[in-house]
C-alpha cells in the first residue's frame, strides 16, 4: 500500500501537487495522485503483542525487499496499539517509518473529547439524544459507532453549544460581527463560559479541521489540528496516543525535508480520484477487509484468505465493468454524501442549555458546576489548557532526556475526582497493591492477564496501574 512512498524521484513541491487540465467544458479539473494499490497475501498473526508485531515487521521486511537491499526504507501505517509496541523495538528495524492511521487517530480524538466533557455536559446531551440505559450511555461515551458519534458530537452538539455561546453577545450588541465577538470573549471572566468556549472552538474544532485536512489532503491543516489537540492526550489518561504524538514529531524532524514532505503528501489516498475524498490507509485497509470477507466462506482457512486476496482487485474490476454494462450505479461516489437535518435536535439541546443559563456569563449566582448541577468542577478545570500544556512539555522533556516520569495524574474533572486523587497520593505501596487486587477480579480475562507480577513494581508504577484499571472499569461500565 505504501510502496509509492519509497520513490524519491517522484518527490514534488507541495505547491505543484495538483496539475490542471482543460476539459471539454473549458473547466479546470484537479488531477489527484492515485497510486496503484496491491493486496498481498494475508498472514494469520494478530498484532496484539510485541512478539507478534515483530513477526509482522519481519514479514514486511522480506516481501518488500528490505533484506536484499531493493529498498532502503518503507512507510508502515497501523493503529495505536501496534504503534505502541513497535516503538519499543524500533531500533531493530532502522528501515521503518511508522505512521499512525488517520482514521484511528480521528476516532480516538473524538473519543477523548467525549470522555473529557462527559461529566460536564456530554452525558446530559446523550440523554437529550435519547440514550437512557447504562448500556446506551456506555455505547455513546465509548463512541462505539464512529459515524453516529461524529454526527451527534461534531454536528448537533457543536451547533447547539456554539450557538448558545454566541447568543449572549448577539443580544448585547446592536451590530454583531465576528471580530466583535472575538474581542468580546476576551473580556469574559466567567469560568464555565471560558471552559466551554475553549472546548468547542479550539479542541472540537481541531478534530473537524483534522478530518478536513485528511479528506482534502492538506498536510499543513492536518498537522496544525494535531498540534492543537495534542494537550488533551497529556491532560487525561491517554498514554498510547500521548507517546505516539511525541514519537511522530521526533521522527519527522529526523527525516530529510524532501522525504518528510513526500510522506505527508502520500499518507492519505483518494481511490475515487476526487479531491475531497482522501482517506488514511487504515481506512482503505478496512474497506479491503470487508471485500475480502465477502469472498470467503463463513469458516475460512488460510488458503481461502490467500485466494480472496490474490483475486480481490480482479473481482473489483469485474464488478465495476458489469455494473457499467448493465447501467447500475451502485454507491455513486461522485455525489456528495448527505446528512439528515439536525436543526430540531440542536434546538432541543439549546433549550436545555438556555433554560438553566449554563453558558450565560451574565446570569446571577454563577457556580462552577456541570450542566445538571450534580457535580462541582475542580479548580484545575479553570486552567485546563494551561495545565495540559505544562503536562505535555513535561512529558516531552522526560522523553527526550530518557528519564522515568513521576506518577501521571490526569487533570481531575470534578471536585470529587480531585479529592480522590489527593487521597491516593498519600497511600502506601501495600495499600495501593491491596486496592488493585480488589479490583482485578472485575476485569475481563484479556485485561486481567496484563496485570501480573505487581508486587515487584514500584509505588509510582502501582499508582499508574491503579488509574489504568479504573479507566478500564469505567469504559466497561463496571
Q: How do residues 55-88 score in pLDDT, each as one tens digit?
A: 999 999 998 899 888 999 999 999 998 998 999 8
Is residue 387 within 8 Å of residue 213, measured between CB atoms?
A: no
- Asked which of 6-10, 298-302, 346-350 is least confident by mean pLDDT, the reply is 6-10
Half-sphere exposure of 345 (CA within 13 A, CB side): 18
Q: What angle do the packed helices 415-425 and 459-475 form, to 10 degrees?
A: 150
| Closest C-alpha among 359, 364, 374, 385 to residue 414 | 374
pLDDT score of 14 more than 60: no
* 3-state secondary structure at position 284: helix
pLDDT of residue 335: 54
Strand 268-269 with 279-280, pairing = antiparallel
pLDDT of residue 464: 82
Provide the whole-model pTM: 0.83
Consecutive H or E run containing 58? helix 50-63
Q: Which residue has the higher pLDDT, 278 or 333?
A: 278
Q: What percent of the chain has a predicted confidence (pLDDT) above 70? A: 89
Cα–Cα dist 70/61, whole Å:
11
340: alpha, beta or left? (left if phi > 0; alpha if psi -120 to 50): beta
pLDDT score of 16 more than 80: no
Q: What percent of the chain has a predicted confidence (pLDDT) above 90? A: 57
Q: Say how far residue 184 (Cα) sits from the centre of its chain.
A: 32
Cα–Cα dist 91/25, whole Å:
54
pLDDT of residue 465: 83
Mean per-residue pLDDT, 154-165: 96
Cα–Cα dist 247/234, whole Å:
14
Q: Average pLDDT of the chain?
A: 86
- Asked which of 278-282, 290-294, 297-301, 325-329 is least confident by mean pLDDT, the reply is 325-329
Phi, psi (deg, nearest 5) at residue 177: -150, 165
- pLDDT confidence tier of residue 39, bands split at 50, 70 and 90: confident
Mean per-residue pLDDT, 38-53: 88
* 3-state secondary structure at position 65: coil
pLDDT score of 477 more than 70: no
pLDDT score of 93 more than 80: yes
- The single-letter DSSP state of residue 440 is G
Out of 24-28, 98-102, 335-339, 399-403, give the one with best mean pLDDT.
Answer: 98-102
pLDDT score of 301 more than 60: yes
- pLDDT confidence tier of residue 11, bands split at 50, 70 and 90: very low
* 3-state secondary structure at position 467: helix
Half-sphere exposure of 244 (CA within 13 A, CB side): 26
Express each pLDDT in 251-267 by its tens digit. Answer: 999 999 999 999 999 99
pLDDT of residue 446: 67
DSSP string covering 101-132? -HHHHHHHHHHHHHHHHIIIIIHHHHHHTT--
pLDDT of residue 19: 41
- Asked which of 171-175, 250-254, 340-344 is least confident by mean pLDDT, the reply is 340-344
Strand 74-78 with 96-100, pairing = parallel
pLDDT of residue 434: 76
Name 332's Cβ contacts closer than 8 Å, sequence gap at least 6.
Answer: none
pLDDT of residue 337: 56
- pLDDT confidence tier of residue 23, bands split at 50, 70 and 90: very low
Is residue 120 within 8 Å of residue 281, measured between CB atoms?
A: no
Mean per-residue pLDDT, 304-332: 84
Mean per-residue pLDDT, 312-321: 85
pLDDT score of 444 more than 80: no
- pLDDT confidence tier of residue 399, bands split at 50, 70 and 90: confident
Cell numbers that stand for 148 in this block: 453516529
Express each pLDDT in 109-135 by its tens digit. Answer: 999 999 999 999 999 999 999 999 999
Mean per-residue pLDDT, 186-214: 97
Amino acid at each position: 500500500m505504501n510502496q509509492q512512498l519509497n520513490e524519491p524521484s517522484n518527490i514534488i513541491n507541495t505547491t505543484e501537487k495538483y496539475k490542471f487540465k482543460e476539459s471539454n467544458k473549458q473547466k479546470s479539473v484537479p488531477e489527484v495522485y492515485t497510486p496503484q494499490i496491491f493486496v498481498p497475501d494475508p498472514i494469520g498473526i494478530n498484532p496484539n503483542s510485541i512478539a507478534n508485531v515483530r513477526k509482522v515487521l519481519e514479514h514486511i521486511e522480506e516481501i518488500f525487499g528490505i533484506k536484499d537491499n531493493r529498498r532502503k526504507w518503507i512507510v508502515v501505517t497501523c493503529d495505536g496499539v501496534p504503534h505502541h509496541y513497535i516503538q519499543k523495538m524500533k531500533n531493530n528495524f532502522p528501515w521503518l517509518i511508522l505512521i499512525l492511521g488517520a482514521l484511528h487517530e480521528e476516532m480516538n480524538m473524538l473519543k477523548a473529547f467525549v470522555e473529557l466533557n462527559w461529566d460536564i455536559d456530554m452525558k446530559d446531551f446523550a440523554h437529550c439524544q435519547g440514550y437512557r440505559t447504562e448500556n446506551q450511555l456506555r455505547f455513546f461515551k465509548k463512541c462505539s459507532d464512529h459515524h453516529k458519534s461524529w454526527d451527534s458530537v461534531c454536528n448537533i452538539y457543536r451547533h447547539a453549544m456554539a450557538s448558545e455561546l454566541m447568543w449572549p453577545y448577539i443580544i448585547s450588541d446592536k451590530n454583531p460581527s465576528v471580530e466583535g465577538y472575538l474581542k468580546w470573549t476576551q473580556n469574559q471572566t466567567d469560568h464555565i463560559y471560558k471552559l466551554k468556549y475553549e472546548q468547542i472552538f479550539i479542541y472540537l474544532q481541531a478534530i473537524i479541521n483534522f478530518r478536513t485536512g485528511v479528506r482534502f489532503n492538506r498536510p499543513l491543516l492536518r498537522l496544525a489540528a494535531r498540534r492543537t489537540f495534542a494537550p488533551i492526550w497529556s491532560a487525561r489518561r491517554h498514554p498510547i496516543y500521548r507517546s505516539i504524538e511525541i514519537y511522530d514529531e521526533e521522527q519527522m524532524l529526523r527525516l530529510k525535508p524532501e522525504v518528510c514532505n513526500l510522506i505527508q503528501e502520500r499518507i492519505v489516498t483518494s481511490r475515487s480520484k476526487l479531491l475531497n475524498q482522501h482517506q488514511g490507509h487504515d481506512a482503505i485497509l478496512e474497506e479491503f477487509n470487508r471485500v475480502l470477507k465477502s469472498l470467503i466462506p463463513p469458516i475460512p482457512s488460510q488458503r481461502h484468505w490467500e485466494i480472496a486476496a490474490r483475486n480481490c482487485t480482479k473481482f473489483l474490476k469485474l464488478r465495476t465493468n458489469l455494473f457499467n454494462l448493465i447501467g447500475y450505479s451502485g454507491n455513486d461516489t461522485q455525489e456528495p454524501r448527505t446528512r439528515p437535518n439536525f436543526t430540531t435536535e440542536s434546538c432541543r439541546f439549546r433549550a436545555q442549555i438556555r433554560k438553566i443559563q449554563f453558558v450565560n456569563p451574565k446570569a446571577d449566582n454563577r457556580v462552577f458546576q456541570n450542566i445538571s448541577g450534580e457535580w462541582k468542577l475542580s479548580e484545575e478545570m479553570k486552567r485546563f489548557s494551561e495545565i495540559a500544556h505544562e503536562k505535555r512539555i513535561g512529558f516531552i522533556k522526560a522523553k527526550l532526556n530518557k528519564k522515568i516520569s513521576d506518577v501521571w495524574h490526569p487533570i481531575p474533572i470534578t471536585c470529587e475526582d480531585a479529592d480522590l486523587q489527593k487521597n491516593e497520593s498519600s497511600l502506601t505501596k501495600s495499600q495501593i497493591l491491596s486496592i488493585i487486587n480488589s479490583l482485578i477480579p472485575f476485569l475481563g480475562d484479556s485485561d486481567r492477564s496484563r496485570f501480573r507480577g505487581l508486587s515487584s513494581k514500584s509505588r509510582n508504577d502501582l499508582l499508574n496501574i491503579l488509574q489504568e484499571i479504573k479507566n478500564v472499569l469505567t469504559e466497561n461500565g463496571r
